[in-house]
Structure 1
Amino acid sequence: MKISIHQINKLRKLTGIGIMDCKKALTLTKGNIDEAIYFLRKKGKEISITRSSFQMKDGAVISSVNADYTSGTIIGISCETDFLSKSHEFLNFLLELSKKSLNSFSKEGFLESFFSKKELVKDAIFRKMAIVKEKLELKIFERVDSPFVIDYTHNNHKISTLIGFSSKINKSPARNIAMHVTAMNPLSIDEDDIPNTIVEKEINFIKDQIKKEKIRSEDIKQKIVEGKIQKFIFNNTLLNQKFIRNNKINVKEYLNQFDNKIKINFFKRVKI
């Protein structure tokens, strides 16, 4: 059966896949568009299986918030090469997925949701695999719901942050704080939230350092431990960190300039 240019172009428009692959799919399915689409999706699934031994060390993350700034997501797709992870095709696809992810509440639910009227997200990812010839996988799905949510993705698409505030705040300072979290990677919001295990580990590390200095006085040792642990907590808790855009004030002081009643409920920072 001879396959027409019109059929090939129609399939290419529907799938975004190259001319030769579309022609092959139509030839094998005797010109049936629906069967050809299924064939190409199956081909994408075969890429997932045959490339499973590749190390999934590359990819990108992106964040999005909904129209009223009450929900946000971070998603991350892994691929096989750094070249693909930086390409416009890959990043545009990631952005499309990101916008769709705002309607989902879990990774599993997102994969089973609709990317388009006739295609699930998981199938759209399989289809894209057939186009780019690399294994793609949804590795990250994080969601934040709060009275006000802001997001920030670093321009290299390797780090994304979401912050949930207790009430509405001007987007500019909110995003500045999201940028701060992205850059400074705090362990928690304040000293009350920092895990005890982390504090204990740091205390043991400080004590080991003191032993090497051969300090005899127990009072001096205790004061050194207290001082160093306080510095550690201040350097690693968001509200106490020096604000990245003005190191004369901390993040809490910066936030209070706009609203001294507003609180940061939580944040999520993802780095790949």
Structure 2
Amino acid sequence: MSISAGMVKELRERTGSGMMECKKALVEANGDLELAIENMRKAGLAKADKKSGRIAAEGLIGAKIASDGKTAAIVDLNCETDFVAKGEDFIGFLNNIATALLTSDVETPEQLQEMKLESGKTVDEVRRELIAKLGENITIRRFETYKLSEGGASCYLHGSKIGVLVELAKADDALGKDIAMHVAACKPVCVSDDQVSQDEINKEKDIFSAQALESGKPAEIIEKMISGRISKFLAEITLLGQPFVKDDKTTVGQLLKSKGNSVIRFTRFEVGEGIEKKEENFAEEVMAQVRGA
């Protein structure tokens, strides 16, 4: 049967695929629109599987807070290029995941893949469809949700590449956003000294001891030097010990005390952290294509 322009237009609107791809799918399905969509979805899933091994070190961080401040979610959604990350489809997918997390009981990556979005499709179904449409590997690298019975949660997004959630013992959105901004800028490892492992402290102590012994000073002086260095180390890596980013004359701990509040926990995500990006050499890539031709 003949394939009309209207049929191609409708298929494009429903799948987001290119004109020629839609026309080909309709021809193969003998004009059956639903069959064409089903075949394109199957082909898209196959394409998604092929792209799953490709490095996805670009992307966006999304964060949402429920209107009552008692539920919060943060998501690190990755793709291969910044161009795709800036597209409406990618941004919409990120926002839909974060929104759905606010009302879900999802705890594991496997559960997240099966979580239903507002469209009725699962996260993984939409992810695979986007891979087929956009031509890049897309992964949900990590996520975190806060469910609070008391206190409140706040978030801060630095552009779209760094995101922070903070839980306070007492709801205070202005203070929470200030603390979240500080965490984004200063990257503390944990909230307080007691959350630093003894192994980490011992490792630093060994390093400081070796350095102090080279000074040739008396043992009691060396012990004081080591103690001072450990205290400085803990202040540098803990949220409460760091100078507040908006006023370096006071620590975050002092700020919180002055407000009669405390931080229960925080989560900081930065796009691409810890991922080894592939180094592109476009000259070599072009030469390889020439040789192949």
* Structure 1 and Structure 2 fold alike (TM over 0.5): yes
In structure 1, what is the equivalent of residue 275 of structure 2? none
Root-mean-square deviation (Å)? 2.0
Aligned residues: 267
Map 1:185-224 → 2, pairs under 5 A: 185-211=187-213, 213-224=214-225
TM-score by length of 2: 0.83
Alpha-carbon distance between aligned partners in 1 of 2:38 and 2:193, rounded to the nearest angstrom: 54
Alpha-carbon distance between aligned partners in 1 of 2:95 and 2:209, rounded to the nearest angstrom: 48
- Partners of 1:151 and 1:163 within 8 A in 2: yes
- Partners of 1:41 and 1:123 within 8 A in 2: no
The structure 1 segments of at least 4 consecutive aligned residues displaced by more than 6 Å after TM superposition are: none
**Aligned amino acid, residue 93 of structure 2:** F
Map 1:1-272 → 2, pairs under 5 A: 1-104=1-104, 105-106=106-107, 107-146=109-148, 147=150, 148-155=152-159, 157-169=160-172, 171-211=173-213, 213-257=214-258, 259-260=259-260, 262-271=261-270, 272=272
Check 1:116–1:44 CA distance in 2 against 1; reply closer, same or farther (3 A cut).
farther
Alpha-carbon distance between aligned partners in 2 of 1:73 and 1:162, rounded to the nearest angstrom: 8
**Deviation of the 1:215 alpha carbon:** 2.1
Uncovered stretches (5+) of structure 2, i.e. residues with no partner: 273-293
Report the 3-state secondary structure (helix = DSSP H, G, I; strand = E; otherwise coil) of the residue aligned with 2:73. strand
- Partners of 2:69 and 2:154 within 8 A in 1: yes
**Deviation of the 1:31 alpha carbon:** 3.1
Check 1:101–1:33 CA distance in 2 against 1; reply closer, same or farther (3 A cut).
farther
Alpha-carbon distance between aligned partners in 1 of 2:255 and 2:225, rounded to the nearest angstrom: 30
Check 1:10–1:243 CA distance in 2 against 1; reply closer, same or farther (3 A cut).
same
Q: Deviations over 1:60-83 (max 9, x none)?
A: 222212221112122122222233
- Partners of 1:144 and 1:163 within 8 A in 2: no
- Partners of 2:168 and 2:263 within 8 A in 1: yes
Q: Deviations over 1:226-263 (max 9, x none)?
A: 00110111121111211101111111232344x31x32
Identity of matched residues, %: 28
Report the 3-state secondary structure (helix = DSSP H, G, I; strand = E; otherwise coil) of the residue aligned with 1:238. coil
**Aligned amino acid, residue 76 of structure 1:** D
- Partners of 1:51 and 1:135 within 8 A in 2: yes
Alpha-carbon distance between aligned partners in 2 of 1:115 and 1:268, rounded to the nearest angstrom: 24
